[in-house]
Amino acid sequence: MKKNLLAYAAVISAFAVAATGCSGTEINQTADVTTAATESSESGDASTSAVEDTEPATEPPYLTKAEELLEKNPDTIGYITVPGTDVDNPIVQTVDNDYYLHIGFDGQDYRAGTVFMDYRNTFSWNEEEQSENIVLYGHNMADNTMFGSLRRYRQDEDFYKEAPIIKLSSNYKEYTYVIFGLIITAGGATPPNDDVYADPMTWEGFPYWNMQELDDEKHFNYYVDTVESMNMIKDNKVPVEFGDDILTLSTCYSDEDNSRFLVVARRLREDETEAEMIELVSGNSSETTTAAE
């Protein structure tokens, strides 16, 4: 998975290109490759054959649903369903977190907007490149459209046990997540000395929207522990540990204090089943584990 350092370097590079208006010096990607290959061949290096026999991973075909949605809107990045709620929406992603606030999936003005992924997230076919924390935004609509129906999780304590599963698809693959956190938090946070590039762990508040890459254990545990410290789930039985893929759904809670309601889940591991997770959350399982410490 992507490293924070690489992500920060990419941001700095992007700023440099924007500032100069050019891409800088061209790099000859074939420089020294031919020479090195020739020398290796002449020396009888067996590693050359191994490299030649290794085929790079190729992009898989789109899911049928993704093909249909991409024809309607090329900004389509995935699809989300939360069984037991009205959440059953395509997900879009563009160059900022503003455009789809009041633009519908069809590109027309629409007060409810569209469910969208944070523009800094990576959710590609290559799982090694995917962000560790996928952050999705949706309005808290009174008619339960977008993320409006998620309010039931905070209004009914027993509902979580009935509906702990989230289905999230990229354009290439379907994933299953299990909810482990339900929190209300401020919609803003203050960086030290107004430095927006400061480590999110040093901010006053919880800048969840600024923590897409959790590929080091310290930041991963900070994120999970912060969620657990505010958790509405009184006895979270879902184990969460470094290396798990996180999904954060964000919607408004109150306009008065700019607060947000977050539904936080983790992707099922290879040896887990949806039925097992439902059994665990419902309390019908003898297994009782806690979130990452």
Q: What is the pTM of this model?
A: 0.80
pLDDT at site 254: 82
258: left (phi over 0), alpha (psi -120 to 50) or beta: left
Give the separation between CA 73 and CA 71, rounded to whole angstroms: 6
Count of helix runs (H) and strand runs (E) in the chain: 8, 8
Classify domain 64-282 by CATH architecture. Beta Barrel (2.40)
In the numeric block, which tokens belong to residue 147? 């993320």
- 290 — phi, psi (to 5°)? -115, 170
The mean-pLDDT minimum among 42-51, 84-93, 186-195, 239-248 falls in 42-51
pLDDT at position 286 is 53
Say what the pLDDT of residue 57 is. 82
**Which of 217, 210, 208 lies closest to 195 in space, CA to CA?**
210
- Assess whether pLDDT exceeds 50 at residue 45: no
Average pLDDT over residues 156-164: 95
In this predicted structure, the answer to whether residue 1 has a pLDDT above a threshold of 80 is no
pLDDT of residue 189 exceeding 90: yes
Return residue ranges of the chain for CATH 2.40.260.10: 64-282
Residue 175's nearest CA partner among 40, 277, 85, 28 is 277
pLDDT at 102 over 70: yes
Strands 116-117 and 76-81: unpaired
Higher pLDDT, residue 255 or 122: 122
User: Are 185 and 258 spatial neighbours (Cβ–Cβ below 8 Å)?
Assistant: no
**Banded model confidence at residue 54, pLDDT cuts 50, 70, 90:** low
188 alpha-carbon distance from chain centroid: 19
Long-range contacts, stretch 82-85, CB < 8 angstroms, 24+ apart: 82/149, 82/150, 82/163, 82/165, 82/166, 82/167, 83/163, 83/165, 83/167, 84/159, 84/162, 84/163, 85/144, 85/149, 85/150, 85/152, 85/163
Q: Tell which residue, 232, 238, 234, has the closest CA to residue 267.
A: 238
Q: Is 170 helix (H, G, I), strand (E, B) or coil?
A: strand
Q: For the ranges 4-18, 83-97, 242-256, 274-288, which has the lowest average pLDDT?
A: 4-18
- Look at residue 19 in the predicted model and tell me its pLDDT: 29
Percentage of residues of the chain with pLDDT beyond 70: 78
The whole-number average pLDDT for the span 15-28 is: 29
Would the pLDDT of 281 be above 60?
A: yes
Distance CA 141, CA 135 (A): 19
Q: 60-81: per-residue pLDDT in tens?
A: 999 999 999 999 999 999 999 9
Report the pLDDT value the prediction gives residue 256, as an integer from 0 to 100.
73
Contacts of 218 (CB under 8 A, 6+ apart): 201
Decide if pLDDT at 42 tops 90.
no
Q: Which residue has the higher pLDDT, 13 or 52?
A: 52
Residues 6 or more apart from 24 whose CB is under 8 A from it?
Answer: 16, 17
Place of tokens 């927006």: 196
- Provide the token pair at 73: 């809107």
52, pLDDT greater than 60: no
Lowest mean pLDDT among 131-140, 223-232, 248-257: 248-257
Instruction: Please report the pLDDT score of residue 276 as a whole number.
Output: 97
H/E element, 91: strand 88-92
Q: Is the pLDDT of residue 86 over 90?
A: yes
CA–CA distance, 132 with 211 (Å, rounded to integer)? 9
